[in-house]
Amino acid sequence: MPDPHSPTILVVDDDASVCWALERALQKTGWTVHIAADAAAARRKLKLGIDVVLTDVRMPGESGLDLLATLHAERADLPVIVMTAHGTMETAVEAVRRGAFDYLPKPLDLDRTLAALRRALGEVPLAASVRPATGFDEDGIIGSAPAMQEVFRRLAAAAGNEVEVLFSGPAGSGKEALARALHRHSPRREQPFVHIGCAALPDAQAADELCAAHGLIASAAGGCAFLDEVDALPPAAQTRLAALLAAPRSASPRILASTRRDLAKLVTAGAFREDLAWRLRPVLIAVPALSERLDDLQPLVRAFLARAAVRLGRQLAITDAAIARLAQHAWPGNVRELKHVIEEAAVLAVGGVIDADHLPISGDGSGAAASAPGFAAAAASLARRLLDSHPGEVHARALDELEAALVREAIARTGGNQLRAAELLGINRATLRKRMEMAGVNR
Protein backbone atom coordinates (compact mmCIF):
# COMPACT_ATOMS: atom_id res chain seq x y z
CA MET A 1 0.00 0.00 0.00
CA PRO A 2 1.34 3.45 -0.82
CA ASP A 3 2.24 5.73 2.05
CA PRO A 4 -0.73 8.13 2.50
CA HIS A 5 1.75 10.87 3.41
CA SER A 6 3.94 10.43 0.32
CA PRO A 7 3.79 12.99 -2.51
CA THR A 8 1.22 12.28 -5.19
CA ILE A 9 2.10 12.71 -8.85
CA LEU A 10 -0.43 12.79 -11.69
CA VAL A 11 0.97 11.69 -15.07
CA VAL A 12 -1.17 12.79 -18.03
CA ASP A 13 -0.23 11.12 -21.33
CA ASP A 14 -2.05 9.09 -23.97
CA ASP A 15 1.06 6.95 -24.56
CA ALA A 16 0.60 3.89 -22.32
CA SER A 17 4.28 2.94 -22.51
CA VAL A 18 5.38 6.36 -21.25
CA CYS A 19 2.87 6.19 -18.41
CA TRP A 20 4.01 2.68 -17.43
CA ALA A 21 7.71 3.67 -17.41
CA LEU A 22 7.08 6.83 -15.39
CA GLU A 23 4.82 5.05 -12.93
CA ARG A 24 7.47 2.40 -12.24
CA ALA A 25 10.27 4.96 -11.89
CA LEU A 26 8.34 7.36 -9.65
CA GLN A 27 7.00 4.63 -7.41
CA LYS A 28 10.57 3.52 -6.70
CA THR A 29 11.14 6.89 -5.05
CA GLY A 30 8.22 6.25 -2.70
CA TRP A 31 5.80 8.57 -4.44
CA THR A 32 2.17 7.78 -5.20
CA VAL A 33 1.41 7.90 -8.93
CA HIS A 34 -1.92 8.31 -10.75
CA ILE A 35 -2.33 8.01 -14.51
CA ALA A 36 -4.68 9.88 -16.85
CA ALA A 37 -4.89 9.46 -20.63
CA ASP A 38 -6.35 12.90 -21.39
CA ALA A 39 -7.22 16.25 -19.84
CA ALA A 40 -10.77 15.26 -18.89
CA ALA A 41 -9.53 12.25 -16.95
CA ALA A 42 -6.86 14.39 -15.34
CA ARG A 43 -9.45 16.78 -13.94
CA ARG A 44 -11.34 13.88 -12.36
CA LYS A 45 -8.12 12.70 -10.69
CA LEU A 46 -7.47 16.07 -9.04
CA LYS A 47 -9.83 15.20 -6.17
CA LEU A 48 -7.28 12.54 -5.10
CA GLY A 49 -5.02 15.24 -3.68
CA ILE A 50 -2.43 15.77 -6.40
CA ASP A 51 0.85 17.50 -5.50
CA VAL A 52 2.40 17.77 -8.99
CA VAL A 53 1.04 17.27 -12.53
CA LEU A 54 3.33 15.92 -15.26
CA THR A 55 1.52 16.36 -18.58
CA ASP A 56 2.17 15.70 -22.25
CA VAL A 57 1.24 18.40 -24.79
CA ARG A 58 -0.31 16.44 -27.65
CA MET A 59 -3.25 14.32 -26.49
CA PRO A 60 -6.72 13.47 -27.82
CA GLY A 61 -9.15 16.30 -27.15
CA GLU A 62 -7.84 19.14 -25.02
CA SER A 63 -4.11 19.73 -25.25
CA GLY A 64 -1.72 19.69 -22.35
CA LEU A 65 -1.18 23.43 -22.73
CA ASP A 66 -4.91 24.06 -22.40
CA LEU A 67 -4.98 21.82 -19.32
CA LEU A 68 -2.04 23.78 -17.93
CA ALA A 69 -3.81 27.12 -18.42
CA THR A 70 -6.96 25.85 -16.72
CA LEU A 71 -5.10 24.35 -13.76
CA HIS A 72 -3.00 27.48 -13.33
CA ALA A 73 -6.14 29.62 -13.25
CA GLU A 74 -7.94 27.33 -10.78
CA ARG A 75 -5.00 26.22 -8.63
CA ALA A 76 -2.07 28.56 -9.03
CA ASP A 77 -0.19 26.71 -6.27
CA LEU A 78 -0.25 23.36 -8.16
CA PRO A 79 3.04 22.84 -10.05
CA VAL A 80 2.54 21.59 -13.62
CA ILE A 81 5.50 20.19 -15.57
CA VAL A 82 5.05 20.00 -19.33
CA MET A 83 6.70 17.26 -21.44
CA THR A 84 6.60 16.85 -25.19
CA ALA A 85 8.24 14.98 -28.04
CA HIS A 86 7.24 17.74 -30.47
CA GLY A 87 9.08 20.61 -28.86
CA THR A 88 9.37 23.90 -30.69
CA MET A 89 10.35 27.34 -29.52
CA GLU A 90 6.68 28.37 -29.66
CA THR A 91 5.63 25.39 -27.51
CA ALA A 92 8.25 26.12 -24.88
CA VAL A 93 7.42 29.84 -24.75
CA GLU A 94 3.69 29.12 -24.55
CA ALA A 95 4.19 26.58 -21.74
CA VAL A 96 6.11 29.12 -19.68
CA ARG A 97 3.59 31.86 -20.49
CA ARG A 98 0.73 29.70 -19.26
CA GLY A 99 2.45 29.01 -15.96
CA ALA A 100 4.45 25.79 -16.38
CA PHE A 101 6.79 24.98 -13.50
CA ASP A 102 9.22 23.35 -15.94
CA TYR A 103 9.45 22.12 -19.52
CA LEU A 104 10.93 18.70 -20.37
CA PRO A 105 11.62 17.40 -23.90
CA LYS A 106 11.00 13.77 -24.81
CA PRO A 107 12.48 11.24 -24.72
CA LEU A 108 12.63 12.04 -21.04
CA ASP A 109 15.89 12.06 -19.14
CA LEU A 110 14.90 10.28 -15.92
CA ASP A 111 17.41 12.09 -13.69
CA ARG A 112 16.30 15.47 -15.02
CA THR A 113 12.63 14.49 -14.61
CA LEU A 114 13.15 13.40 -11.00
CA ALA A 115 15.10 16.59 -10.27
CA ALA A 116 12.29 18.74 -11.70
CA LEU A 117 9.70 16.86 -9.63
CA ARG A 118 11.74 17.23 -6.45
CA ARG A 119 12.05 20.97 -7.08
CA ALA A 120 8.30 21.20 -7.65
CA LEU A 121 7.64 19.28 -4.43
CA GLY A 122 10.02 21.49 -2.48
CA GLU A 123 12.22 18.52 -1.58
CA VAL A 124 15.45 20.07 -2.91
CA PRO A 125 17.58 21.69 -0.19
CA LEU A 126 17.78 25.41 -0.84
CA ALA A 127 20.87 27.46 -0.22
CA ALA A 128 19.03 30.76 -0.58
CA SER A 129 15.54 32.02 -1.28
CA VAL A 130 14.54 35.61 -1.98
CA ARG A 131 11.35 37.47 -2.73
CA PRO A 132 11.08 40.54 -4.95
CA ALA A 133 12.15 43.61 -2.98
CA THR A 134 11.81 47.30 -3.68
CA GLY A 135 15.30 48.51 -2.92
CA PHE A 136 18.91 47.55 -2.32
CA ASP A 137 22.02 48.97 -0.79
CA GLU A 138 22.92 51.88 -3.03
CA ASP A 139 26.47 50.68 -3.67
CA GLY A 140 25.57 47.00 -4.01
CA ILE A 141 29.20 46.03 -3.25
CA ILE A 142 29.72 42.92 -1.15
CA GLY A 143 32.92 41.68 0.42
CA SER A 144 33.89 40.14 3.74
CA ALA A 145 37.14 38.54 2.52
CA PRO A 146 40.30 40.25 3.86
CA ALA A 147 41.31 41.43 0.38
CA MET A 148 37.96 43.19 -0.05
CA GLN A 149 38.15 44.70 3.42
CA GLU A 150 41.43 46.32 2.37
CA VAL A 151 39.70 47.62 -0.77
CA PHE A 152 36.98 49.19 1.38
CA ARG A 153 39.56 50.74 3.74
CA ARG A 154 41.43 52.39 0.88
CA LEU A 155 38.24 53.53 -0.84
CA ALA A 156 36.92 55.13 2.36
CA ALA A 157 40.21 56.96 2.90
CA ALA A 158 40.33 58.23 -0.68
CA ALA A 159 36.67 59.23 -1.05
CA GLY A 160 36.89 62.49 0.87
CA ASN A 161 40.07 63.66 -0.84
CA GLU A 162 40.69 65.07 -4.30
CA VAL A 163 43.56 62.87 -5.41
CA GLU A 164 43.48 60.59 -8.43
CA VAL A 165 42.72 56.92 -7.77
CA LEU A 166 43.76 53.91 -9.85
CA PHE A 167 41.77 50.68 -9.58
CA SER A 168 43.71 47.62 -10.71
CA GLY A 169 42.37 44.09 -11.11
CA PRO A 170 41.18 41.51 -13.62
CA ALA A 171 38.27 42.07 -15.97
CA GLY A 172 34.89 41.74 -14.30
CA SER A 173 36.20 42.14 -10.75
CA GLY A 174 34.09 45.24 -10.02
CA LYS A 175 36.44 48.16 -10.67
CA GLU A 176 33.76 50.36 -12.23
CA ALA A 177 31.29 49.64 -9.41
CA LEU A 178 33.92 50.64 -6.87
CA ALA A 179 34.73 53.83 -8.80
CA ARG A 180 31.04 54.75 -8.80
CA ALA A 181 30.85 54.05 -5.07
CA LEU A 182 33.84 56.30 -4.43
CA HIS A 183 32.13 59.07 -6.42
CA ARG A 184 28.89 58.65 -4.45
CA HIS A 185 30.77 59.00 -1.17
CA SER A 186 32.88 61.96 -2.29
CA PRO A 187 32.19 65.74 -2.04
CA ARG A 188 31.49 65.60 -5.83
CA ARG A 189 28.53 63.22 -5.47
CA GLU A 190 26.04 65.75 -6.89
CA GLN A 191 28.16 66.30 -10.00
CA PRO A 192 28.42 63.98 -13.03
CA PHE A 193 30.23 60.65 -13.15
CA VAL A 194 31.43 60.08 -16.72
CA HIS A 195 32.53 56.60 -17.77
CA ILE A 196 35.11 56.64 -20.58
CA GLY A 197 35.99 53.32 -22.20
CA CYS A 198 39.57 53.91 -23.31
CA ALA A 199 39.77 50.65 -25.29
CA ALA A 200 36.89 51.79 -27.48
CA LEU A 201 38.50 55.09 -28.49
CA PRO A 202 39.84 55.09 -32.08
CA ASP A 203 43.63 55.32 -31.97
CA ALA A 204 43.92 58.29 -34.33
CA GLN A 205 41.38 60.46 -32.51
CA ALA A 206 41.82 59.19 -28.93
CA ALA A 207 43.90 62.15 -27.76
CA ASP A 208 41.40 64.75 -29.02
CA GLU A 209 38.29 62.86 -27.95
CA LEU A 210 39.73 62.45 -24.47
CA CYS A 211 41.61 65.66 -23.73
CA ALA A 212 40.26 68.44 -25.98
CA ALA A 213 38.56 71.47 -24.45
CA HIS A 214 35.16 69.94 -25.17
CA GLY A 215 36.32 66.34 -24.92
CA LEU A 216 35.14 63.49 -22.75
CA ILE A 217 37.13 64.46 -19.65
CA ALA A 218 35.86 68.05 -19.85
CA SER A 219 32.27 66.76 -19.91
CA ALA A 220 32.74 65.60 -16.31
CA ALA A 221 33.63 69.11 -15.08
CA GLY A 222 33.03 69.34 -11.33
CA GLY A 223 32.51 65.59 -11.08
CA CYS A 224 34.56 62.48 -11.78
CA ALA A 225 35.89 61.11 -15.07
CA PHE A 226 36.48 57.37 -14.94
CA LEU A 227 39.09 56.24 -17.47
CA ASP A 228 38.26 52.55 -17.84
CA GLU A 229 41.12 50.41 -19.21
CA VAL A 230 43.49 53.36 -19.23
CA ASP A 231 46.29 50.94 -20.16
CA ALA A 232 44.70 50.68 -23.66
CA LEU A 233 45.40 54.35 -24.52
CA PRO A 234 47.70 54.85 -27.52
CA PRO A 235 50.97 56.81 -26.98
CA ALA A 236 49.66 60.15 -28.30
CA ALA A 237 46.70 60.07 -25.92
CA GLN A 238 48.99 59.15 -23.02
CA THR A 239 51.13 62.20 -23.75
CA ARG A 240 48.11 64.56 -23.87
CA LEU A 241 46.63 63.06 -20.70
CA ALA A 242 49.93 63.40 -18.80
CA ALA A 243 50.12 67.07 -19.81
CA LEU A 244 46.49 67.61 -18.79
CA LEU A 245 47.07 66.13 -15.34
CA ALA A 246 50.26 68.18 -14.86
CA ALA A 247 48.59 71.52 -15.64
CA PRO A 248 46.68 73.60 -13.07
CA ARG A 249 42.98 72.81 -13.43
CA SER A 250 40.18 74.92 -11.99
CA ALA A 251 36.80 73.19 -11.56
CA SER A 252 38.32 70.24 -13.38
CA PRO A 253 37.03 66.71 -12.98
CA ARG A 254 38.63 64.31 -10.59
CA ILE A 255 40.34 61.53 -12.52
CA LEU A 256 39.64 57.91 -11.57
CA ALA A 257 41.14 55.17 -13.71
CA SER A 258 41.22 51.41 -14.02
CA THR A 259 43.64 48.88 -15.48
CA ARG A 260 43.65 45.12 -15.79
CA ARG A 261 47.41 45.10 -16.44
CA ASP A 262 50.36 46.04 -14.23
CA LEU A 263 51.28 49.60 -15.25
CA ALA A 264 54.78 49.23 -13.77
CA LYS A 265 55.48 46.30 -16.12
CA LEU A 266 54.06 48.27 -19.05
CA VAL A 267 56.36 51.18 -18.18
CA THR A 268 59.36 48.84 -18.09
CA ALA A 269 58.34 47.45 -21.48
CA GLY A 270 58.05 50.96 -22.91
CA ALA A 271 54.31 50.58 -23.51
CA PHE A 272 53.15 53.20 -20.98
CA ARG A 273 54.47 56.61 -19.93
CA GLU A 274 56.12 56.51 -16.52
CA ASP A 275 55.04 60.04 -15.56
CA LEU A 276 51.40 59.25 -16.43
CA ALA A 277 51.49 56.01 -14.45
CA TRP A 278 52.56 57.90 -11.33
CA ARG A 279 50.07 60.74 -11.85
CA LEU A 280 47.20 58.24 -12.08
CA ARG A 281 48.01 56.40 -8.88
CA PRO A 282 48.42 58.60 -5.80
CA VAL A 283 46.08 55.94 -4.37
CA LEU A 284 46.13 52.42 -5.78
CA ILE A 285 43.20 50.10 -5.01
CA ALA A 286 43.91 46.48 -5.99
CA VAL A 287 40.65 44.63 -6.59
CA PRO A 288 40.95 40.84 -6.12
CA ALA A 289 39.67 38.20 -8.51
CA LEU A 290 36.57 36.30 -7.42
CA SER A 291 38.68 33.14 -7.09
CA GLU A 292 40.64 34.95 -4.35
CA ARG A 293 37.50 35.78 -2.35
CA LEU A 294 35.26 32.71 -2.59
CA ASP A 295 33.93 33.41 0.92
CA ASP A 296 31.95 36.17 -0.78
CA LEU A 297 30.37 33.80 -3.33
CA GLN A 298 27.13 33.03 -1.47
CA PRO A 299 26.45 36.65 -0.40
CA LEU A 300 27.01 37.74 -4.00
CA VAL A 301 24.64 35.02 -5.24
CA ARG A 302 21.95 36.18 -2.81
CA ALA A 303 22.37 39.77 -3.97
CA PHE A 304 22.13 38.84 -7.66
CA LEU A 305 19.13 36.59 -6.91
CA ALA A 306 17.38 39.50 -5.22
CA ARG A 307 17.98 41.75 -8.22
CA ALA A 308 16.76 39.06 -10.60
CA ALA A 309 13.65 38.52 -8.46
CA VAL A 310 12.79 42.21 -8.80
CA ARG A 311 13.30 42.19 -12.55
CA LEU A 312 11.34 38.97 -13.10
CA GLY A 313 8.67 39.80 -10.52
CA ARG A 314 8.72 36.42 -8.78
CA GLN A 315 10.32 34.56 -5.90
CA LEU A 316 13.62 32.84 -6.66
CA ALA A 317 15.64 30.21 -4.84
CA ILE A 318 18.84 28.29 -5.47
CA THR A 319 19.70 24.75 -4.44
CA ASP A 320 22.70 23.48 -2.51
CA ALA A 321 23.72 21.52 -5.62
CA ALA A 322 23.78 24.73 -7.66
CA ILE A 323 25.85 26.51 -5.02
CA ALA A 324 28.29 23.58 -5.04
CA ARG A 325 28.57 23.85 -8.84
CA LEU A 326 29.23 27.59 -8.56
CA ALA A 327 31.93 27.00 -5.93
CA GLN A 328 33.75 24.57 -8.26
CA HIS A 329 33.91 27.00 -11.18
CA ALA A 330 37.15 28.85 -11.96
CA TRP A 331 35.40 32.23 -12.62
CA PRO A 332 37.68 33.66 -15.31
CA GLY A 333 35.15 36.47 -15.77
CA ASN A 334 35.00 37.19 -12.01
CA VAL A 335 32.01 38.92 -10.38
CA ARG A 336 30.59 40.07 -13.71
CA GLU A 337 30.54 36.48 -14.96
CA LEU A 338 28.79 35.34 -11.76
CA LYS A 339 26.17 38.04 -12.24
CA HIS A 340 25.48 36.95 -15.82
CA VAL A 341 25.34 33.27 -14.80
CA ILE A 342 22.77 33.95 -12.06
CA GLU A 343 20.70 36.19 -14.35
CA GLU A 344 20.62 33.54 -17.09
CA ALA A 345 19.81 30.73 -14.66
CA ALA A 346 17.00 32.78 -13.08
CA VAL A 347 15.35 33.11 -16.48
CA LEU A 348 15.81 29.42 -17.34
CA ALA A 349 14.46 28.23 -13.97
CA VAL A 350 10.85 28.97 -14.83
CA GLY A 351 9.70 27.27 -11.62
CA GLY A 352 11.72 29.73 -9.57
CA VAL A 353 14.23 27.19 -8.19
CA ILE A 354 17.72 27.34 -9.72
CA ASP A 355 19.37 23.93 -9.77
CA ALA A 356 22.79 22.88 -11.05
CA ASP A 357 21.45 22.00 -14.51
CA HIS A 358 20.21 25.58 -14.99
CA LEU A 359 23.74 26.98 -14.69
CA PRO A 360 25.56 27.71 -17.99
CA ILE A 361 28.89 26.53 -16.58
CA SER A 362 30.67 23.19 -16.43
CA GLY A 363 30.91 21.17 -13.26
CA ASP A 364 34.55 20.13 -13.61
CA GLY A 365 35.97 23.11 -11.75
CA SER A 366 37.84 24.48 -14.75
CA GLY A 367 35.15 26.35 -16.59
CA ALA A 368 36.27 24.56 -19.75
CA ALA A 369 33.81 22.70 -21.90
CA ALA A 370 36.25 20.40 -23.64
CA SER A 371 38.06 17.51 -21.96
CA ALA A 372 41.84 17.29 -22.01
CA PRO A 373 41.92 14.10 -24.14
CA GLY A 374 39.53 15.68 -26.64
CA PHE A 375 41.69 18.77 -26.93
CA ALA A 376 44.84 16.69 -27.31
CA ALA A 377 43.29 14.69 -30.14
CA ALA A 378 42.14 17.86 -31.92
CA ALA A 379 45.57 19.48 -31.49
CA ALA A 380 47.30 16.39 -32.86
CA SER A 381 44.98 16.36 -35.87
CA LEU A 382 45.67 20.05 -36.54
CA ALA A 383 49.42 19.48 -36.23
CA ARG A 384 49.36 16.61 -38.74
CA ARG A 385 47.32 18.61 -41.23
CA LEU A 386 49.57 21.69 -41.03
CA LEU A 387 52.79 19.68 -41.15
CA ASP A 388 51.57 17.99 -44.33
CA SER A 389 50.18 21.09 -46.05
CA HIS A 390 52.19 24.08 -44.77
CA PRO A 391 55.77 23.11 -43.84
CA GLY A 392 57.69 26.08 -42.55
CA GLU A 393 54.50 27.92 -41.50
CA VAL A 394 53.10 25.43 -39.00
CA HIS A 395 53.66 27.46 -35.82
CA ALA A 396 52.14 30.70 -37.12
CA ARG A 397 49.17 28.98 -38.78
CA ALA A 398 48.44 26.90 -35.67
CA LEU A 399 48.36 30.02 -33.52
CA ASP A 400 46.09 31.75 -36.03
CA GLU A 401 43.63 28.83 -36.09
CA LEU A 402 43.60 28.51 -32.30
CA GLU A 403 43.01 32.24 -31.88
CA ALA A 404 40.20 32.18 -34.46
CA ALA A 405 38.57 29.27 -32.62
CA LEU A 406 38.81 31.13 -29.31
CA VAL A 407 37.27 34.27 -30.81
CA ARG A 408 34.41 32.33 -32.43
CA GLU A 409 33.67 30.42 -29.23
CA ALA A 410 33.72 33.58 -27.08
CA ILE A 411 31.43 35.43 -29.50
CA ALA A 412 29.04 32.46 -29.67
CA ARG A 413 29.03 31.95 -25.90
CA THR A 414 28.18 35.62 -25.24
CA GLY A 415 25.52 35.86 -27.94
CA GLY A 416 27.59 38.34 -29.96
CA ASN A 417 28.27 40.66 -27.01
CA GLN A 418 31.76 41.93 -27.86
CA LEU A 419 32.40 43.49 -24.44
CA ARG A 420 31.66 40.22 -22.61
CA ALA A 421 33.61 38.21 -25.20
CA ALA A 422 36.65 40.46 -24.74
CA GLU A 423 36.41 40.05 -20.96
CA LEU A 424 36.27 36.27 -21.27
CA LEU A 425 39.35 36.27 -23.51
CA GLY A 426 41.23 38.76 -21.34
CA ILE A 427 41.75 41.30 -24.11
CA ASN A 428 40.29 44.74 -24.76
CA ARG A 429 37.44 45.28 -27.21
CA ALA A 430 39.57 47.03 -29.82
CA THR A 431 41.92 44.03 -29.92
CA LEU A 432 38.92 41.68 -30.14
CA ARG A 433 37.58 43.56 -33.17
CA LYS A 434 40.94 43.16 -34.93
CA ARG A 435 40.99 39.45 -34.08
CA MET A 436 37.42 39.09 -35.37
CA GLU A 437 38.36 40.68 -38.69
CA MET A 438 41.37 38.41 -39.04
CA ALA A 439 39.27 35.33 -38.21
CA GLY A 440 36.45 36.36 -40.55
CA VAL A 441 33.92 36.55 -37.70
CA ASN A 442 30.96 38.81 -38.44
CA ARG A 443 30.08 41.45 -35.89
Q: What is the CATH number of the domain that holds 161?
A: 3.40.50.300
Coil, strand or helix: which one is 356? Answer: helix
349 is a domain residue: no
CATH code (residue 380): 1.10.10.60
Same domain, 150 and 262: yes
12 and 116 co-located in one domain: yes
Q: Are residues 150 and 109 in the same domain?
A: no
Asked whether the CA dihedral 324, 327, 333, 339 is positive or negative, the reply is positive
Within a domain: 233: yes
User: pLDDT (tens digit, 9 = 90+) per residue, 331-354?
Assistant: 999 999 999 999 999 998 888 899
The pLDDT, as a whole number, for residue 157 is: 87
Residues 163, 256 within the same domain: yes
- Rg value, the chain, Cα: 28
Higher per-residue confidence, 419 vs 301:
301
- At 78, which CATH number? 3.40.50.2300
Three-state SS at 349:
coil
Would you say residue 391 lies in a domain?
yes
Q: With bands split at pLDDT 50, 70 and 90, how would you rate the model's confidence at 363?
A: low
Residues 150 and 116 in one domain: no
Q: Please compute the mean of the pLDDT values over residues 19-26 and round it to a whole number.
A: 92
Does residue 86 lie in a domain region?
yes
Instruction: Give residue 376's pLDDT.
Output: 58
Domain contains 177? yes
Which range marks the domain in which residue 152 is found?
A: 146-287
Which of 244, 266, 287 is the last residue before a domain boundary? Answer: 287
Residues 119 and 150 in one domain: no
Question: Does residue 161 sit in the same domain as residue 255?
Answer: yes
Contact between 318 and 126 under an 8 Å Cβ cutoff? The reply is yes
Could you report the per-residue pLDDT of 221-233, keeping only the tens digit for each? 999 999 999 999 9
**103: β partners:** 82
How are beta strands 8-12 and 52-56 bridged, if at all? parallel
Judge whether 355 lies within some domain: no
Rounded average pLDDT over 391-401: 77
> Does 176 reside within a domain?
yes
CA distance 402 to 73: 53
Q: What DSSP string runs through 281-318? A: -SEEEEPPPGGG-GGGHHHHHHHHHHHHHHHHTS-EEE
136-174 residue pLDDT tens: 444 557 887 778 888 888 988 898 888 999 999 999 999
Binning pLDDT at 50, 70 and 90, where does residue 442 land?
Answer: low
Give the whole-angstrom CA distance, residue 344 versus residue 311: 12
Q: How confident is the model at residue 211 (pLDDT cuts 50, 70, 90)?
A: very high
Question: Within this chain, do residues 105 and 209 fall inside the same structural domain, yes or no?
Answer: no
Same domain, 44 and 154: no
Domain identity same for 91 and 173: no
> Has residue 371 got a pLDDT over 50?
no
Question: What does the pLDDT average to over 239-255?
Answer: 87
What's the whole-number average pLDDT of the chain?
A: 85
Per-residue model confidence (pLDDT) at position 88 = 59
pLDDT at 370 over 60: no
φ, ψ (nearest 5 deg) of residue 204: -70, -35
- Of 254, 287, 320, the one marking the end of a domain is 287
Say how many domains are in the chain: 3
What is the model's pLDDT at position 6? Answer: 85
In this structure, are 118 and 152 located in the same domain? no
pTM of structure: 0.69
Residues 114 and 220 in one domain: no
H-helix or E-strand spanning residue 166: strand 165-168
**Is there a domain that residue 141 lies in?**
no
